[in-house]
Amino acid sequence: MFQDGQIRLCIPDLTLVRLVHLISGMDEDTPECIQSGAVASTMTGYTEWVSTDVPTITIGWDWQIQTSNNQLSLKRLGEPRSNVILQDNIGVDLSQQYADRILSEWVDAMEWKNETLQYLNRRYST
C-alpha cells in the first residue's frame, strides 16, 4: 500500500484475492412516479465486498433488479469502485479504462448475485 491509501496489485495477484460480502442496500432516491396507471419501474442498489487479507481490499458496485420468468436477478451497473490500482507485471499503473474493464470482468465472474439477494431479503423483510 502507498501513502495514497490505494493498494497496487498486478492482475495475477488480483485473481488470488478472496472477497466476502460486507453490506448491500437499496437506493432510496428512486424518483416518484407522477403518471397514473401501471408503469415500468427500476429498483437499484449497491453492494460492498472486502478481502479477508491485509491490507484490506474493498470493492463495491451498483446493481439493478431484473425479472425473467418470475425470477429476480441482479445486474451490475457501471464500473466497480475500489481501493485497488492495477499494475502490469513490471509495476506500472494500468490505465483507468483498462483497469475498470479488468475489475468489471472480475466482479462479473464472482458469485455475488445470490448472496446479495439473500442479504437484501433478510435486511428488508418484515
Q: What is the pLDDT of residues 16-44, one digit of tens each?
A: 999 999 999 999 875 554 455 555 568 99
Q: What pLDDT is recorded for position 5?
A: 80
Are 65 and 74 a contacting pair, CB within 8 Å?
yes
- The total of other beta-carbon atoms located within 10 Å of residue 107's CB is 19
Cβ neighbours around 99 below 10 Å, total: 20
**Lowest-confidence range among 18-22, 74-78, 111-115, 121-125?**
121-125
